[in-house]
Amino acid sequence: MKLTFLGTSAGKPTKERNVTALALEFDQDNKWYLFDCGEATQHQILRTSLCIGKLSTVFITHLHGDHCYGLPGLLSSKKLDKAFSPLTIYGPKGIKHFIECVTDTSQEHLGYTLKIVETEANSRIIFDKFVLRVLPLVHSVESFAYFIQEHDTTDKLDEQKLRLAGLEPSPLYGELKRGNSIMHKGKEFLSKDYMLSPLPGRSLIVAGDNSKPDILGAYLENLDLLVHESTYTQKVYDALKTKFLHTTAKKLGEAAQKHHIKNLIATHISPRYSRGSSCDAEMICREIKFAYKGECFVAADFDVFYLDRKKKLQKL
Ligand SMILES: [Zn+2]
Ligand SMILES: [Zn+2]
């Protein structure tokens, strides 16, 4: 699975980072998914190979503007692009009102089917490639993490076994791969008897704003990849006069280590951390790595990562 970070800033954009958005693509798929849609996400999409016409589903973690103010423009541009494929948006209670307020005020006729689903914590939704579970977080408004468990898959035939059974490579192999049984020289070949064992699916959490990573509990245990906010380093957070419900690099690193998470990507970085200043995102990375010994990255805009079947995370 491939992740493209379209925005990695917390609260407001900077010259280096736009506000939160993340694209997710599965292997051999013709569609993609978007997690959060901060303002100007559609501008960021234009700078990648992603195409709005192939966007099938948007998951909004919570209704703070840096996570959803990009929706109205994106929905409108989809119509102007004549991308009339249906689109579904999942989000917390209030997402429907937010979108309908804007589209009604602008008398926007989208021309495609827009389904808006207000999800609740702990709901479970089955997609063609994965099962998704909505998990509650700790933030100043209702905020969700989306846990994704990819289905176990195989499309590999045991060719040696087929040959021994008298079936040489032919278009019949395609039928077996599609799960169909076939007849050959009076003998029935059942698809399930000739497929290699399935490859285990990958697991991923994309979390919204959250001050308590541990709230994800058992879902973190041996997780293949966690994408989580890391808004501040601990020292900066401790010096804040007003505390916000966000996670520090230290707390995130400790949670990741405690739960044996295989790979971690930190995002939603406070605008105060900028390249070349005395306070840059490297500090966040170092603080996480002090506690966490797995693979760890702090995402920048347009970073692309691939999580392979062996659960190894690579930055492309
Ligand atoms: Zn935020
Ligand atoms: Zn927030």
Q: Which two tokens stand for residue 15?
A: 């010259």
> Is domain 2-153+198-315 classified as CATH 1.10.10.10?
no
Would residue 66 show up in a list of annotated catalytic residues for this protein? yes
Buried b (16+ CB within 10 A) or exposed e, 158-187: eeeebeeeebeeeebbeebeeeeebeeeee
Do the Cβ atoms of 135 and 205 come closer than 8 Å?
yes
By 3-state DSSP, what share of the chain in percent is helix, strand and coil, each rounded to 5? Answer: 25, 30, 45
Tokens representing 7 are 């925005």
Cα distance between residue 234 and residue 168, in whole Å: 63
**pLDDT given for residue 181 in this prediction:** 87
Domain boundaries in the chain? 2-153+198-315, 159-193
Whether 248 has a pLDDT exceeding 90, the answer reads yes
The pLDDT of 54-63, averaged and rounded, is 97
Give 190's DSSP letter.
-
- For residue 246, the CA-to-ligand 2 centroid distance in Å is 8
Could you tell me the distance, in angstroms and rounded to a whole number, from the CA of residue 241 to the centre of ligand 2?
Answer: 18
Catalytic residue among 27, 29, 36, 66, which? 66
Q: How far is the CA of 209 from the centre of ligand 2 (A)?
A: 5
Rounded to whole angstroms, how far apart are CA atoms 69 and 136? 21
66 Cα to the center of ligand 1, angstroms = 5
State the distance from the centre of ligand 2 to the C-alpha of 66, rounded, in angstroms: 7
**CA end-to-end distance (rounded Å), the chain:** 12
Which ligand number lies closest to the CA of residue 210? 2
pLDDT in tens, 145-202: 999 999 987 778 889 999 999 999 988 898 888 878 899 988 999 888 888 888 889 9
Cα of 49 from ligand 2 centre, angstroms = 28
Taking the centre of ligand 2 as the mean of its atom positions, its distance from the CA of residue 21, in whole angstroms, is: 13
**Residue 135 near residue 121, CB atoms below 8 Å:** yes
Region for 105 from its dihedrals, namely left if φ exceeds 0, alpha if ψ lies in -120 to 50, beta otherwise: alpha
Q: Which ligand is nearest to the CA of 39?
A: 1
Ligand 1 is an ion; its neighbours by CB within 5 Å are 66, 209
Q: Tell me: the pLDDT tens digits for 4-58?
A: 999 999 999 999 999 999 999 998 889 999 999 999 999 999 999 999 999 999 9
pTM above the 0.85 mark? Answer: yes
Beta strand residue intervals within 52-181, DSSP E: 55-59, 87-91, 114-118, 124-126, 130-136, 144-150
